[in-house]
Amino acid sequence: MSATIDQALCIRHWDWSETSQTVVLFTKTNGILRGLAKGSKRDKGKFSGGFDVLSQGEIGFLLKRDSELATLTEWDVRETFPALRDNLRANKAGWYAADMLNRMLPALDPHPGLYEMTLNLLRALQLGSAPTLCLLRFQWSLLEETGWRPELTDPDPGAATLAFDPVAGKFTVDSGDPNCWRIRRGTILTLESLACNMDPSSDEESLVRANRLLAAHLRNVLAEEPMTMAAVFGALPTSVQKPTRIRSAS
C-alpha cells in the first residue's frame, strides 16, 4: 500500500516512547489526522528530527480501518514560524489557533480553505503584519466551515448600537436584555465585510471588538472557555448557553 501525501500543520504532539511520537495534524485535503510516528525522534530517519507544534510541512501516512491512529511514514518540514517562540503575542495567537482547530474539527473532515486561512494567520504572526485582521479571518472561517457562524441580519439599520443574542447566534435590537451582549454598529459592519470576502475598512479597535465577539461565540459553542482563548482575549461576555446551529457544516 502506497502512502498518502498531504500538506499539514502540526497542532499537537506527545511522546509515545523514547524514539516515537503521537501527533495531531491538520492536513489540507484530509482534515484532522491523528497518527503514530515510530522513530520520529531519532537523529536519522524520515521525520526531519521530529514534530513541533505549528510547524508546517509534507506528511506521508497510511490509514488502517482497525486503528484510531494512522501510521505516519515521513515528515518534511517546510515552515517553522520562529516568531511564535520569540514574541509572546504571536505565541498566544498561534497556540489559540491550534487549540481551536483541535477542539472544533472532527477527524478526517477536509477544510482546505480553513487550512489556507490558518497558514495566512501564522505567516502574518511571523511577519508581525496585521495579525488582528488575520486572526479575525481565521475565527470567521472556523465558524463558517463548522456551521456555527453568526447570522448577520441587521435588525435595526439606523441604530448606533445593537445586541447579540448568544443563544440564537444572531444580532437583535438593543433592548437592554441582560442576556444579550451590547454591540457597536461597527462590529456587524466588519463581519459583513468578511462574509462578502472583502477587507474590512474598520480601524484596529473595531477589529478587536469583532474578534472578541467571535471568540465569545466560539466559547459558547464549546460550552467552556479554553485557557488559550483567555490568554488572547482576556475577560469575555458572560456565557449563557450553547447557541443554535445556523446551518449544517460545509
Q: Do residues 46 and 37 lie in contact, with contact meaning Cβ atoms separated by under 8 Å?
A: no
Q: Convert the pLDDT of each residue in 55-106 to its tens digit.
A: 999 999 999 878 889 999 999 999 999 999 999 999 999 999 999 999 999 9
Q: Read off the pLDDT band of 5 (50, 70, 90).
A: very high
Residue 170 has pLDDT above 90, yes or no: yes
Single-letter residue type at 207: L
Instruction: Write down the residue that cell numbers 514534530 correspond to.
Output: 51
The ranges assigned to domains in the chain are: 1-80, 88-250
Q: Read off the pLDDT band of 45 (50, 70, 90).
A: confident
Q: Do residues 142 and 240 lie in contact, with contact meaning Cβ atoms separated by under 8 Å?
A: no
| Percent residues over pLDDT 70 in the chain | 97
The whole-number pLDDT of residue 247 equals: 53
Pairing mode, if any, of strands 56-62 and 70-79?
antiparallel
Cα 102 to the chain's mean position, in Å?
A: 8
Instruction: Write down the residue that cell numbers 461576555 correspond to.
Output: 237
Instruction: Write down the residue that cell numbers 500538506 correspond to.
Output: 7
Query: Does the pTM exceed 0.95?
Result: no
Average pLDDT over residues 215-243: 91
Average pLDDT over residues 209-225: 95
Single-letter residue type at 53: V
The whole-number pLDDT of residue 220 equals: 94
Average pLDDT of the chain is: 91
Average pLDDT over residues 217-238: 94
Query: What architecture is domain 1-80?
Result: Beta Barrel (2.40)
Q: Do residues 90 and 96 lie in contact, with contact meaning Cβ atoms separated by under 8 Å?
A: no
Identify the CATH assignment for 88-250 out of 3.40.1350.10, 1.10.1240.10, 1.10.1740.10, 1.20.1440.120: 1.20.1440.120
The whole-number pLDDT of residue 246 equals: 61
Single out the residue of 45, 77, 74 nearest to residue 62, CA to CA.
Answer: 74
Q: Exposure string (b/e) for 210-246, b if CB count within 10 Å is 16 or more?
A: bbbbbbbbbbbbbeebbebbebbbeebbeeeeebeeb
Q: How far apart are CA 197 and CA 131, in angstroms?
A: 17
Q: Convert the pLDDT of each residue in 171-192 to its tens digit.
A: 999 999 999 999 999 999 999 9
